Structure 1
Amino acid sequence: MRTVVERERKFECPADFRVPDLVGDSVAALGDPKVIKLDATYYDTPELRLTRGALALRKRTGGADEGWHLKVGAAGGARTEHQRALTRGSKPPDDLMRLVRGAARGGPVEPVARVETRRREWELRGADGSVLATLADDAVVGHDLVDGGRTAWHEIEVELVDGDEELLDGVERRLRDAGARPGSPAKIRRVLDERLRDLTTIEAGAATPVYAYAAATRDSLVAHEPAARDGDVDGVHDMRVAVRRLRSTFRSFRALWDQEQIEGVRAELKWLGEQLGGVRDAQVMGPRLDKAVRREQEELVLGPVAADLAARFAADEAAALTRLRRALSSPRYLQLLSTLDEVIEAPPVTDVSARWVNRRIHKAVRRADGLLDTALDRQAEKGVSDDDPALHEARKAYKRGRYAVEVRRHEGDKNAKRLVRGLKGLQDLLGDHQDSVITREVLRDLGVRAYGRKANTFTYGLLYAEQTAHGRELVARLPKAQAKARRRKLRRWLT
């Protein structure tokens, strides 16, 4: 299986759109256009779980890369594509199916759509003849293989080869001047648009925004699973954040669900978060300490500190990734996803008001404010104690508060968007502080181990002292960040 990262931008355009002259900026010439016919069959579950999770599994003929493809991520940005050679049968290859096992809930997939594309493709070349990007002018016809629907459209794709984002910016300006509109959904989403809307619509009265947010977060969790399996730094992080958002939502709005069931779901999400956390911690702590060592003057780094750190965290990450892959391949994980489907898509009859939802949001933010007030009061009374666990509790509470506000941001509330930005700034400061606390714990452990093997521990102590100073400086910045996050205009809509 071959894996590539696509960096592209997509544009919608009218049927009579003509590609403008793109020579200029860093584009020195356009190659002669090639006409290619592409025929792709897309696979999914009856509930379109893969498509909802921004996964596109297809078998395509035509073009230089014909074969089986699994695209991961939203169209129009950087996407990962896993590629396999064509096979005779219609069954997707096992290695691709392993990557979508969670999205498919362990079940089979079947053909759901066919997309036929007549493509005119140009190579955008630099002055040295190198291919900077390709531009595809696509006339597309899509067929829904379940309900028989048909749709046709015209779009442009510009994909980087050896070029950069500046090149894409220049090409985009010329295309927009010629009448193209930025943004176009993935082909499979356009073909299945009506069915997707029917399958993803949730009706739960005033509580609908909560369920919609939970559904989007669950789909995000599934969307990042393939990258997390590969140990991709962003994939692990984003999947872990999705787990946290779900746990927080089920806590802040727990009255919407059966208490015993939802506490069981939260416990299982905690288990999944722990599997992801082991990988994430190693991925964050290793580079953090490596940078800290490299900042030191050479004469202050005594012994093979950098090498020891690299070996330690490489081993930690490898072991944690093995545990994560085992968890994601387990029946326990599939059962968790099925239970999430049940509690999100079949909401119980609830009689709550929009005010009730807003009050739950307000309560989550207010609780975080109270915890931070208490922690800062104690700092003022007893002096700076930058490893005070109360600061960590405030950080966790602000995360829950932010995720609660995101329920309203998800439905487009501009005040909620501003409040999320304010809370994130405070949360990031508290998060940086907590990282400094954990870093000190790791450094102390490493220093003790080094001492046990009679190695020089000076550098570990130096790094520890620097992390302590950094933690105190962060604590000193908290009151100002707190005041900024509490501006009346940000919170008016909650009261």
Structure 2
Amino acid sequence: MATVVERERKYAGDEGFRLPDLTGCGGVVTMSDATVSDLDAVYWDTDDLRLARSGHALRRRTGGHDAGWHLKVGAVGGTRVEHQFPVGASDDGPPAELLALIRGASRGRPVTPAARVVNRRRERRLLDSDGRVLAEMAEDDVLAEDLVDGDGKSWHEIEIELVEGDDDLLDALADRLRAAGAREVPVSKSHRAVAGRLARFPDRSPTGAAAAVLGYARAQRDAIVGHHAAAYQGDEDAVHDMRVATRRLRATLRTFRGLWDRRESEAVRAELRWLGGELGRVRDGQVMATRLTEAVHELPAELVLGPVAARVGQRFAADLADASTALRAALDSDRYPDLLVRLDRLVDGPVENVDRRWVDRRVRRAVRRADARLDRALADSGPDGDAALHEARKKYKAARYAVELRVPVAGKPAARLVKRFKALQNLLGTHQDSVVTREVLHRQALRAYAEGENTFTYGLLHARQAAAAGHDRPAVLRTRDRARGRKVRRWLEH
């Protein structure tokens, strides 16, 4: 299965629209002659169009240079990731490999043919003076049919996809096309094909004082689903972003728990903790492997005694393989889509009627809890001090997430407080990284000793981590005081 990242924009024009000359836009010197192809695609979806509603498109297409099964993830107009499976791999239904990548979006439900899109495509390449292909432009005459309700429609569309060009090129081309009467199309062909059925789903945009909380929670739910495919394949950034979304959701469900049935929200939080734990095993292994490898390479060669780098690589390669297998098993399990369905009921369903003061009180409470926890941790000079600082860090994450959802209303002061909480959280995170790294180095040294290897380098690395951690406290105190400044907190009292 191949994976490509595409950046494209789509346009449509009224009857009589003529494509303008695009040379001179963003370095375009010439346009190649058009190549013509006939494309025929059947799009698959759940009976309630879960894929279309979450920015996914799964199709089986014939014709063109990339015929086969395709899964696109992402919104039109932004960066989209396309997973491709070759022609002939499966003619009866989507390949199992692609079904695994839509398990979050489909909530584990079966997919069936939902729409057919047939188009005659005229494609040109936009070239610069060196002959580089900056972008590909396609003019499509489209015929679409909803295979469930039989609704049919046709339209003319222009699609521009970057190759070696950049966003400035897309902006320049957009200006030229708009001047000629084109308008940007914000949705995909498959979305337009089933637009009639999509319109029947009620608008559940949150309203009232709880709207910001629900909107924030929905965004995190959508982030989990949006990063599912890449995380399933082990992409480091996707695993990280998916894990962060679970953390934000857990914190939001706790901070504002009076909005929902307590038993159900706590049960969902427990399931989010499980999912975050599976993601964390992968992410923590990725981060620790990079951290220790870099630490070994930074040492002078004469201080690296024994096969330290090799042992670190072997240890984390095995751990990461096990964690990745466990994560895929979790995402393949029934427990995962069941969690998403329960989460849907919470963030899309009715909530308790609250006013803005109720929401603001809970934001202030989250901030006060974080402050109090950090003060206690800084006063703890005993053996539990590191654990106390770690708990303070978690409280500041919850406080930061609570303040984040107030940024659209409170504006710059809230944004500044978020920034300062993040700086404090990062310092506490660096300290915790040192604690965990020392634990890993100690275990690694014991293994090396048991195998008769020299453990000097592990001890040296351990000492360096301990020394670095000792520099954290003054920085934490300074950053804490900045986060408690009157200017960034005044808005909390109003």
TM-score by length of 1: 0.86
Distance change >3 Å, CA 412–CA 375, structure 1 → 2? closer
Asked if residue 302 in structure 1 is aligned to residue 319 in structure 2, the reply is no
The Cα of 1:150 is off from its aligned counterpart by 4.9
Letter in 1 for 2:43: Y
Q: In structure 1, what is the Cα distance between the partners aligned to 2:421 and 2:142? A: 44
Asked if residue 20 in structure 1 is aligned to residue 22 in structure 2, the reply is yes
The Cα of 1:179 is off from its aligned counterpart by 4.6
Distance change >3 Å, CA 258–CA 461, structure 1 → 2? same
Asked if residue 326 in structure 1 is aligned to residue 294 in structure 2, the reply is no
Letter in 1 for 2:47: P
The Cα of 1:494 is off from its aligned counterpart by 2.8
Q: In structure 1, what is the Cα distance between the partners aligned to 2:153 and 2:420? A: 45
Q: Deviations over 1:108-166 (max 9, x none)?
A: 12334444545432334566656454333556566555563858464442232xx3xxx
Letter in 1 for 2:448: A
Asked if residue 215 in structure 1 is aligned to residue 214 in structure 2, the reply is no
Point out where structure 1 has 5 or more consecutive residues left out of the alignment.
none
Asked if residue 61 in structure 1 is aligned to residue 59 in structure 2, the reply is no
Contact 2:386 2:435 in 1 (8 A): no
The Cα of 1:410 is off from its aligned counterpart by 6.9
Look up the match of 1:469. 467
SS for the counterpart of 1:103 is helix
Q: Of residues 370, 393, 397 in structure 2, which corresponds to 1:395?
A: 393
Look up the match of 1:494. 492
Contact 1:52 1:219 in 2 (8 A): no
The Cα of 1:254 is off from its aligned counterpart by 1.0
Letter in 2 for 1:362: R
The Cα of 1:391 is off from its aligned counterpart by 1.6
Asked if residue 279 in structure 1 is aligned to residue 289 in structure 2, the reply is no
Asked if residue 91 in structure 1 is aligned to residue 93 in structure 2, the reply is yes
Point out the more displaced range, 141-150 or 362-371: 141-150
Point out the more displaced range, 2-11 or 185-194: 185-194
SS for the counterpart of 1:64 is coil
The Cα of 1:468 is off from its aligned counterpart by 1.9
Distance change >3 Å, CA 24–CA 189, structure 1 → 2? closer
The Cα of 1:67 is off from its aligned counterpart by 1.9
Letter in 2 for 1:8: R
Contact 1:19 1:175 in 2 (8 A): no
TM-score by length of 2: 0.86
Point out the more displaced range, 258-267 or 71-80: 71-80
The Cα of 1:459 is off from its aligned counterpart by 1.4
Look up the match of 2:357. 355
The Cα of 1:44 is off from its aligned counterpart by 2.0
SS for the counterpart of 1:206 is coil
Q: In structure 2, what is the Cα distance between the partners aligned to 1:28 and 1:207? A: 53
Point out the more displaced range, 230-239 or 46-55: 46-55
Distance change >3 Å, CA 447–CA 206, structure 1 → 2? same
The Cα of 1:396 is off from its aligned counterpart by 0.5
Alignment RMSD: 3.2
Contact 1:53 1:220 in 2 (8 A): no
Distance change >3 Å, CA 398–CA 76, structure 1 → 2? same
Point out the more displaced range, 480-489 or 395-404: 480-489
Q: In structure 1, what is the Cα distance between the partners aligned to 2:262 and 2:479? A: 36
Look up the match of 2:233. 230
Q: In structure 2, what is the Cα distance between the partners aligned to 1:395 and 1:403? A: 12
Look up the match of 2:368. 366
Q: In structure 2, what is the Cα distance between the partners aligned to 1:153 and 1:408? A: 42
Aligned ranges for residues 37-56 of structure 1 at < 5 Å? 37-56=38-57
Q: In structure 2, what is the Cα distance between the partners aligned to 1:114 and 1:125? A: 33
Aligned ranges for residues 25-424 of structure 1 at < 5 Å? 30-86=31-87, 91-125=93-127, 131=133, 133-138=135-140, 148=151, 150=153, 152=155, 154-160=157-163, 163=164, 167-180=165-178, 184-189=186-191, 195=198, 198-199=201-202, 201-203=204-206, 205-348=208-351, 350-376=352-378, 378=379, 388-409=386-407, 416-424=414-422
SS for the counterpart of 2:113 is strand
Point out the more displaced range, 106-115 or 122-131: 122-131
Aligned residue pair count: 483
Point out the more displaced range, 129-138 or 298-307: 129-138
Contact 1:99 1:226 in 2 (8 A): yes
Asked if residue 4 in structure 1 is aligned to residue 11 in structure 2, the reply is no
Contact 1:204 1:347 in 2 (8 A): no
Q: Deviations over 1:290-319 (max 9, x none)?
A: 111111112121111111111110000001
Contact 2:377 2:385 in 1 (8 A): no
Distance change >3 Å, CA 200–CA 224, structure 1 → 2? farther
The Cα of 1:251 is off from its aligned counterpart by 0.6
The Cα of 1:103 is off from its aligned counterpart by 2.3
Point out where structure 2 has 5 or more consecutive residues left out of the alignment.
none
Point out the more displaced range, 150-159 or 49-58: 150-159
Give identity over the alignment, percent. 49
Contact 2:25 2:172 in 1 (8 A): no
Q: Deviations over 1:205-246 (max 9, x none)?
A: 422332232222222212222222211111211221121111
Q: In structure 1, what is the Cα distance between the partners aligned to 2:368 and 2:195? A: 40
SS for the counterpart of 1:63 is coil
Look up the match of 1:455. 453
Q: In structure 2, what is the Cα distance between the partners aligned to 1:155 and 1:362? A: 50
Point out the more displaced range, 466-475 or 359-368: 466-475
SS for the counterpart of 2:274 is helix
